[in-house]
Amino acid sequence: MKIQESAENYLETILILEQRNAHVRAIDIANELAFTKPSVSVAMKHLRENGYILIDGAGSISLTQTGLEIAQKMYERHTFLSKWLIELGVDKDIALEDACRIEHVISTESFEAIKSKLLIV
């Protein structure tokens, strides 16, 4: 099962929330992404079933190794792309939205190419 864009986004959000709060619950993700509780509940079930996250007895969500790797990859892309677009003069909100969409569709090869190009220029 190939990981979907939405799954990548959930994992990235969990990583961000882990850095911000002590523990991450489904409701925190729902608030962060402006999704409803049922949407998140179902999504977490899938992520758990596919080995991307763990949910303890208290409902605290954590990333597995696999989940963490994807989350970090997305987060790095997000950070880099949004910073770059903002540097180019793009409005911050638009830059963040674009980064959030591009990060899920760009290939590793293209991302790395842009990154190394930008380090040189």
Partner DNA sequence: TAATTATGTTAGCATAAACTAACTTTTTTG
Partner DNA sequence: CAAAAAAGTTAGTTTATGCTAACATAATTA
| Residues making contact with DNA (CB under 7 A) | 1, 4-7, 9, 25-27, 30, 34-39, 41-46, 55, 58-59
Cβ 108 to DNA shortest distance, Å: 19
| Binding positions for its own copies, rule: CB under 8 A | 85, 88-91, 94-95, 97-98, 101-102, 105-107, 109-110, 113-114, 117, 121
Cβ 66 to its own copies shortest distance, Å: 23
Cβ 63 to its own copies shortest distance, Å: 25
- Our CA angle for 55, 45, 108, nearest 5°, is 95
